[in-house]
Amino acid sequence: MDVADDSKLPFFFLGLGLGVAAGLLLAPQSGEETRNLIKNRADEGKDFLKQRSDEFIDSASDVLQRGKTVVSKQKEQVAAAVEAGKQAYREAMRAAGAGADEV
């Protein structure tokens, strides 16, 4: 989901609201027809919100998965660095012990 898409959402709802208001004021339809029109527009808005929320959930899921992958890689790198440090320490201790025996 792009940041630019988020900034367009309030304008969409503003336009939707203004369109409904203008439609109600200027509509040459009967009350029942107008109610049906409002119901249809509300259903369209609900469908739009459902679609956007599904897209957001998918996007959040992707970001979460990428984050888990990065953390896993970093965890492996830290574990490898710790193991290398332990090995270097063991070798240094062995070398120090061997050097003390030679003196």
Q: What pLDDT, on the 0 to 100 scale, is given for residue 66?
A: 93
Q: Which ranges constitute the DSSP H helices of 2-30?
A: 3-26
Q: What pLDDT, on the 0 to 100 scale, is given for residue 64?
A: 92
Q: What pLDDT, on the 0 to 100 scale, is given for residue 13?
A: 85
How far is it, in rounded angstroms, from Cα 15 to Cα 22?
10
Tokens of 12: 């969409």
**Three-state DSSP class for residue 28:** coil
Domain locations in the chain as residue ranges: 3-102
Tokens of 66: 């990428």
Q: What pLDDT, on the 0 to 100 scale, is given for residue 103?
A: 45
Whole-structure pTM value: 0.47
Contact 27, 34 (CB under 8 A): yes
How far is it, in rounded angstroms, from Cα 95 to Cα 11?
72
Residues 52-64, mean pLDDT to the nearest whole number: 91
